[in-house]
Amino acid sequence: MSTTIEPTVRVETRRQPMPPRERLEQIFDIQDLDAIYSGKPAVKGVTMEVYKNLVTAIIGPSGCGKSTYIRCLNRMNDLITGFTQTGTIRYHGQDICGSDVDAVAVRRNIGMVFQRPNPFPKSIHDNVAWGMKVLGIRDDINARVERALTQAALWDEVKDRLKASALSLSGGQQQRLCIARAIAVEPDVVLMDEPASALDPIATQAIEELMHNLKSEYTFVIVTHNMQQAARVADMTAFFSISHGGEGQRWGELVEYDATEKIFTAPSDKRTEDYVTGRFG
């Protein structure tokens, strides 16, 4: 079944070849995860690993539960009433889904950038500094703010107006500010839920470069509906698809998870092949 296909996606990528699987360090070990909103399943039976210092992309048609899935990884779905999940998510070997695990501590280590930029109604500086101050990081705040903004490729554009309101920035700048805000607190993992979907191509490119440059310090998991983007930035790619059940139920399932190269050139599952060749979705 490993016939090479003609992918619709032919992209330039600066992605370096991945180290062999044995040398990869596991950060997440997800086993048989079901995510359910008020009795209606959003994703079922997800089993996969996420590796340190790689960019892992989650792709698939809309409605297949990609956002729901990624929000499970940092217990963000706890905020939604009626949400339950089964299965385990091991982070560095320890299950973070149990009720005795503090979600606040989980999110400290696993940060998130959202689909639409959502900077706080504060100044640019305070947006980045607030999280640090609250979490108890008090030394060298200004230096850390500068470092985060530099890593987010925003420093040069805002260094003269750190006191200006964050809301005066353009959409692409706001999103980079949100990324700076997330990495300022030095999390372990950064989850990104379609971070560039509301942005123009130039802003998108800036964010992709950012991920590429920061990979060595952080682990990225990115949800994207844009296959080209996944092909450009991701080392590993997970393809989700929609399954149907009785009574018109639909839920998302992990179909295939492999090195990006393989997913896009020699997928094992027909559904993956259909998706990446543009036959549907």
Partner 1 sequence: MSSAELTAAARRPFTGRRVQWGDLILQVVAGGAALAVTVLVALIIWKVIEGARLSIQTYGLGFVARVAWNPVLGHELYGAGSFIFGTAITSLFALLLAAPISMGIALYLTELAPTVIRGPVTALVETLAAIPSVVLGLWGILVLGPALGTTIQPWLHSALGFIPLFGPPTSSGASIFTAIIILTIMILPIVSSISRELFLGVPTELKEAGYGLGVTRWEVVRGVMFPYASGGIAAALILGLGRAIGEAIAVTQVIGGGVFIHWNLFSGGDTLASKIAASYQGSTTKLQTASLIYLGLILLVFSLVVNLVAQWIVRRSARKLGIVRGGHA
Partner 2 sequence: MSAQEVQRSVLRVEGLARRKAVNRTMELLAWVSALIAVAILGIVVYSVARRGLPALNLDLLTKDPIPFSLTNQPQGLRNAFVGTLVIVSLATLMALPFGILVAIYLNEFAPASIRNVVTMVLDILNGVPAIVIGIFVFGLFVVGHGQSGWAGSFALACLMLPLVARSTMEVLALVPNSLREASLGLGVARWRTTLSIVLPQTIGGILTGTVLAVARVAGETAPLLFVSSFVGTKTSWNPLHALQSIPVAIFELSESPDPADHARAWAAAFVLLMFILFASLGARWLATRSRRKIMGR
The phi-psi region of residue 122 (left if phi > 0; otherwise alpha if psi is between -120 and 50; otherwise beta) is beta
Amino acid at 156: D
Answer yes or no whether residue 105 interacts with partner 2 by CB under 8 A: yes
Binder of partner 2 out of 40, 92, 270, 279 (CB under 8 A): 92
Tell me which of partner 1, partner 2, none is bound by residue 112, counting a contact when its beta carbon lies within the kind-specific cut-off of 5 to 8 angstroms.
partner 1
Q: Which two tokens stand for residue 241?
A: 């698809």
Binding part of the chain for partner 2, among 88-96, 122-130, 144-152, 233-241 by CB under 8 A, reads 88-96
- The length of the chain, given as a count of residues: 281
Binding part of the chain for partner 1, among 24-32, 52-60, 126-134, 145-153 by CB under 8 A, reads 126-134
Contacts of 11 (CB under 8 A, 6+ apart): 228, 231, 232
Question: Whole-number minimum distance, CB 198 to partner 1, in Å?
Answer: 6
Of the candidates 242, 267, 266, which has an alpha carbon nearest to the alpha carbon of residue 69? 242
Question: Whole-number minimum distance, CB 191 to partner 2, in Å?
Answer: 15
Is the CB of residue 93 less than 8 Å from the CB of residue 25? no
Block residue for tokens 């040398």: 23
Answer yes or no whether residue 73 interacts with partner 2 by CB under 8 A: no
Q: Which two tokens stand for residue 70?
A: 């990624």
Q: Which residues of the shown chain bind partner 1 in the complex (CB under 8 A)? A: 74, 76, 79, 81, 104-109, 111-114, 116, 118-122, 130-131, 134-135, 165, 167-168, 170-171, 174, 178, 181-182, 185, 187, 198-200
